[in-house]
Chain A
Amino acid sequence: MSSATSVTTAPAAAPAPPTDQWYPLRRSAEAILAPLIALCAAAAIFSIFLLFLGASPSDFIDLVWRGAFGSWFSIQNTVQRASPLLLTALCVAIPGQLGLVIIGGEAAVVLGGLAATVAALPLVNTSPVIVWAAMAVAGSAMGAFWIGISGWLRAKLNVNEVIASLVLAYIGLALFNHFVEGVLRDPASLNKPSTYGIGDQNMLDTVPWLDVHPGLPVGILACVLCWVLIYRTSAGFASRVTGGNIRAAQLQGLPVTKLIMLACAIGGGCAGLAGAIEVAAEYGRANASLNAGYGYTGILIAFLARFNPLAIMPMAILLGGLGAAGGLLQRRMDLPDATIQVLQGLIFVSILASDTLYGRFRWFQPRGAA
């Protein structure tokens, strides 16, 4: 008995020196290999599918490569599709650090785009820089507010965030339609109800020299910043502790409530910014084009990246590339445009299923210090 008490009162022994210095490397290898195996499995299943249809898988792969990365035009197309996904994936990945699953990013995108347009309209005749600043601030503030509601409900009222964010997504879409097809509608937009435009002079140009979608540098910057926030700051560490075990975090006195609201607001801000950029770079006005499913694809990309902001980048490029290749496939192989959707679905299912591989193989596990 006395020995037990002496153990608890004694100062903690210094941790044993790590005997398994290769473990971090093997852990990374596991994190890269598992999705890669899943990707190959998806490709194999899809090839069989193509053979059944009488199409050649090698032609298919060749066309996907050319359609996604083969020319400067296709790279631009890929980047254009991937850019909003970088930001909408962050909307899931950052709250994901705390163990939350936010599935309402779609509403943050459309409302962010709408808020950005509204902020831009009175400033149309000032300088474009002012317009862009106002759009960025308004868009991300709106997104932060909308996803922040889910966070607030979770933190303060213990309302489940999956259902709350889903329900709020539908409320947000209804609000968007109400404004776009009501008070904010430009009467000249007949077939596709839209708000008034922000003006051609205020459209966000492509990135100088590279000539790609302006959302790309913003998305990459956001991913890197979020990575630093999560893995190199005490708030990020506190969030990961909370995500690991919320009771332990509360016992440690971590500000769990604040962290939840903050993470949701940051994530929502990213998604709102995506909406603002889409308006400024692509459409010039808010309309139903904003509701293009970026929010839902973002959820999957965040899960594929296992909530790591740096891993979001290759995943978003992969999915954006597949989307970009769709048109070429349709023209050259006479396959329906939904072919890409089938492939994307297969990849998602297969990579998510590969989560089960983690920890199955002894070789990747830490080796005993004992």
Chain B
Amino acid sequence: MLDSIGTVLLAMLAGSLRVSTPFLFVSLGECLTEKSGRINLGNEGVLVLGAMVAYATSYETGSPWAGVLAAAFAGMLLGGLHGAICSLAKVNDVAMGIAIMLAGTGIAFFFGKPYVQPSATLLPGIPFGFWSDNAQLRNALSVCPLFLLGIAAAIALHWCFNATRVGLRVRIVGDSQDAALALGLPIDRTRFLATACGSALAGIGGSFLSLYYPGSWNEGLSSGQGLMAVALVVFSRWNPINCIYASLLFGAAGALGPSLQTVGITWGYYLFYAAPYIVTLVVLIITARGGRSLRGMPGQLSIGR
């Protein structure tokens, strides 16, 4: 009994460390975009495009890190397109995000067709479990460098929002258009840059999918992490540090079903996937009571009005 609980916990830890990285990057990117007062549902497309570009670049150049950079660049382009079009008057950012999502996946599938077969150089894992003889534990603690990069990015973003001029400007633009106008801040340019940089982060998240885990390129690679990021950002209350916890939690919840299966419990395999969403919904309901908008929610966010 104790043994199987240990197995489940270990599998959840492993699963959570393994699958949380794309969640982390996409939610950080979404967080940055939403902080500037705009929502980008197109990050799902960015994620898939990033995965394809990273894989293709790594295959052509032999360097997975070049792939990561290329993915960030591709994400920045697609996010920049979303940001630029949403700067036009009367364009709905929710609908445009879904259009960008379809366009991004379409472009990725189109150009990714020749890369489904060949195998590219993948990112190496960092063996944090070297001290243990337990193969399972060693496997679980082999961490992708991108995960550490993601944590660093979360801390940097948090610091940026709270301690730098740029971060303050982004928050002003996101919280009050009137205040931003009064201060003479370039609202459209700020949002454009925030969207482009946010999508660059999401693109890096995509490179993790194709270059580390699952570590190949095919059309069913993403399971909707890009859209889920919107829920993650709500869950973490627009706080980059909380995005780390939220990603680990969402990753662990996804790993719960498969790890219970390893000890013979098959019931509710799919229901566990829903657990973090139910928690998100409860968070939404609790915080929205009494007509207030969500605490921490940027005031100019179109979904908050």
How distant is B208 from chain A, measured CB to nearest CB, in Å? 21
B113 is contacted by which of A177, A181, A336, A343 (Cβ under 8 Å)? A336
- Output the nearest chain A residue to B39 by Cβ-Cβ distance: A162
Is B135 part of the contact surface with A, judged by Cβ < 8 Å? no
Tell me the chain B residues, 222-255 only, with Cβ under 8 Å from chain A.
Answer: 224, 227-228, 230-231, 234
* Chain A interface size, under 10 / 10 to 19 / 20 to 34 / 35 or more: 35 or more
A167 is contacted by which of B89, B103, B277 (Cβ under 8 Å)? B277
Contact with B along A151-162 (1 / 0, CB 8 A): 001000111101
Main secondary structure of the interface of A (DSSP, over half): helix
How distant is A37 from chain B, measured CB to nearest CB, in Å? 14
CA distance A174 to B269 in the complex (A): 9
Tell me the chain B residues, 75-106 only, with Cβ under 8 Å from chain A.
Answer: 81, 85, 88-92, 94-96, 98-106
* B73 surroundings in chain A (CB, below 8 A): none
* A349 surroundings in chain B (CB, below 8 A): 81, 85, 96, 99-100, 103
CA distance A178 to B84 in the complex (A): 41
- Output the nearest chain A residue to B219 by Cβ-Cβ distance: A338
CA distance A178 to B106 in the complex (A): 29
* Chain B interface size, under 10 / 10 to 19 / 20 to 34 / 35 or more: 35 or more
A181-B269, A349-B99 known; A157-B110 Cβ under 8 A: no
A178 touches B103 (CB 8 A): no
Is A121 part of the contact surface with B, judged by Cβ < 8 Å? no
Contact with B along A122-144 (1 / 0, CB 8 A): 00000000000000000000000
A181-B270, A353-B96 known; A158-B90 Cβ under 8 A: no
Is B148 part of the contact surface with A, judged by Cβ < 8 Å? no
B103 touches A170 (CB 8 A): no
CA distance A177 to B234 in the complex (A): 25
Is B65 part of the contact surface with A, judged by Cβ < 8 Å? no
A101 touches B85 (CB 8 A): no
Is A228 part of the contact surface with B, judged by Cβ < 8 Å? no
* A170 surroundings in chain B (CB, below 8 A): 224, 228, 231, 273-274, 277
A-binding residues in B (CB < 8 A): 39, 41, 81, 85, 88-92, 94-96, 98-110, 113, 224, 227-228, 230-231, 234, 267-271, 273-274, 277-278, 280-281, 284-285, 288-291, 294, 303-304
A–B Cβ pairs within 8 angstroms, 13 of them: A103-B94, A157-B285, A157-B289, A160-B294, A164-B281, A167-B284, A170-B277, A174-B273, A178-B268, A296-B98, A341-B103, A344-B106, A353-B91
